[in-house]
Structure 1
């Protein structure tokens, strides 16, 4: 079987480099080109692979799939154009910044017979996988509530704090991963959202914190603390935790626990050296395997939309001061 020919469109998101390296190390993948109108984002990979300033030229090339890691507001047009070009798609989160555009993305992929996968690599954390298995086997009885946190540092690239490019601040950026995990573990859908957000930690024109309360169709209630509250001197730059409360027990998951703390006089703060599984390698491997075998991707565009609509409802609730029903 020939190698899967893949292109990368958009390097604005900081996860792009990790996905590209995973693709480069995959024995069944050939990277055919990289594209971003902002060439500075692509460096130094524009020297290693064919570079396209216009992504449409890459879509016209002899490739079977694309990875999209652009600014959030560009996800929809890029996915739709890739679908019309008959390319399978792996898209960074959040999938989109409005319900209408996400519905259009899913429709375009369905109409053109291509697969769309959302980049939720935290599903591959072994502690999360085991938590899901424990819930499904009834080890903690009936789940009645969940709690989550995703607190991190202000993103390095300026587009994250520009509403016209990001579509939302910390409450969008740091909620979708956690809500996808809860959706996946609980196998239910959120029916009500109440949230409050604000700008408390940085001088930026967008929210840097939010508290999201939600209720699932199966009766589980939850709360998520999401923010860019980690200042430069904070010992560790991010967290992601889950607490799943059942009638017969509680599961605690610290997704970032698989790391060593490194202290150096050459750095301004402590740093992490991860020793857990390479999540980018695992999720890229699943995408490649699905496309090569024709099997459905394990994390669909529908999954991406289910988590993003919760974030969008949270903004609506924050603006109105009222709960929002989904």
Structure 2
């Protein structure tokens, strides 16, 4: 029997990645879609050959035998949608960041724990072969003590609600800090104790949010991390962006690009240059792992707490940029 999943909102562009991943898995079924934008939801349901539901409670109706949902609404609506799914008793995969503030994230985590519902956060970088190899190198001691890490998550400006802080919670910093922080937490098994950041609107002066952010972080084991969390890639860049890390250890160094698997393509006519990905699909592995946990009841590997700790660094970075001083974590 297939694991029966639904999708709550196609506001986030990752919703299409996840729906595509579901369609490629033999033992997972997309039961239906709900969206507070009916036209967007109806179009998405038609694309993936499933049903659109006008109300969340219709998606959660017992007749649908729903087992889990993927929440891909605007960041500010994550709490609303996660709590609706929690009330219905279905497991949840929530797009990153978990929320836009600490209080909402804690409510989401606490309510899911009370209801016995699993809350997983969508950090597909954890499934990248490059990350998995870095993890093995670090855990095996081959690089020695990790002294510092340079990370990047540089992308194109996604536009739309992503640039509206009332819906997204900020700009590039909240969008592109959490992925790298999460994988470094997973690599080191440590927490950030201090963050400093400087941000600005550099590439599009008309944006109401920052599109450039440089962070410096101190982890409790002594590792120092720098991160470029920006929307610095131009619209004609051959791919959406990158996630890279360079690790400097006492016994060696290692560098990785988590999305390096691609073919360079040039198109005649308009002269388009694109990176065509091949090989491993981290989004598909993310969905497959979530479905496995839903079916078996096994604990999810990326928890709501992981989402909170990654978001906390981004929020601390905003505070540091505003005050001009490093900010201690956890936030009070």
TM-score when scaled to structure 2?
0.94
Contact residue 262 and residue 278 of structure 2 kept, 8 A: yes
User: 2:291 maps to what in 1?
Assistant: 288
User: 1:196 maps to what in 2?
Assistant: 198
Secondary structure of 2:96's match?
A: coil
Query: Residue 307 in 1 paired to residue 306 in 2?
Result: no
Secondary structure of 2:7's match?
A: strand
User: 2:185 maps to what in 1?
Assistant: 183
Aligned with residue 174 of structure 2, among 172, 189, 198 = 172
User: 1:19 maps to what in 2?
Assistant: 18
Q: What is the CA-CA distance between 1:56 and the residue it aligns to? A: 3.1
Q: What is the CA-CA distance between 1:162 and the residue it aligns to? A: 0.9
Aligned with residue 263 of structure 1, among 257, 263, 266 = 266
Query: Residue 83 in 1 paired to residue 86 in 2?
Result: yes
Aligned with residue 73 of structure 2, among 70, 74, 88 = 70
Q: Distance in 2 between matches of 1:268 and 1:38?
A: 35
Residue range with higher mean Cα deviation, 26-35 or 203-212:
26-35
Q: Distance in 1 between matches of 2:247 and 2:9?
A: 36
Residue range with higher mean Cα deviation, 265-274 or 71-80:
265-274
Q: What is the CA-CA distance between 1:293 and the residue it aligns to? A: 1.0
Aligned residues: 324
Contact residue 3 and residue 29 of structure 2 kept, 8 A: yes
User: 2:142 maps to what in 1?
Assistant: 139
Q: Distance in 2 between matches of 1:52 and 1:291?
A: 22
Secondary structure of 1:21's match?
A: helix
Change (3 A) 1:135 1:168: same
Secondary structure of 1:298's match?
A: coil
Change (3 A) 1:187 1:33: same
Change (3 A) 1:267 1:214: farther
Contact residue 236 and residue 270 of structure 1 kept, 8 A: no
Contact residue 238 and residue 275 of structure 2 kept, 8 A: no
Contact residue 72 and residue 94 of structure 1 kept, 8 A: yes
Query: Residue 56 in 1 paired to residue 43 in 2?
Result: no
Which runs of 5 or more structure 2 residues have no equivalent in the other structure? none
Q: Distance in 1 between matches of 2:43 and 2:311?
A: 32
Contact residue 42 and residue 52 of structure 2 kept, 8 A: no
User: 2:33 maps to what in 1?
Assistant: 34
User: 1:120 maps to what in 2?
Assistant: 123
The one-character-per-residue Cα deviations of 1:178-229 (angstroms, maximum 9, x if unpaired) are: 1111110010000101011110001211110100110001111111011111
Residue range with higher mean Cα deviation, 97-106 or 231-240:
231-240
Contact residue 168 and residue 207 of structure 1 kept, 8 A: yes
Q: Distance in 2 between matches of 1:211 and 1:109?
A: 34
Superposed, 1:94-113 pairs within 5 Å as 94-113=97-116
Q: Distance in 2 between matches of 1:185 and 1:256?
A: 18
**RMSD (CA atoms):** 1.4
Which runs of 5 or more structure 1 residues have no equivalent in the other structure? none
The one-character-per-residue Cα deviations of 1:74-128 (angstroms, maximum 9, x if unpaired) are: 0111111211211100011111110110000000100000101111111111111
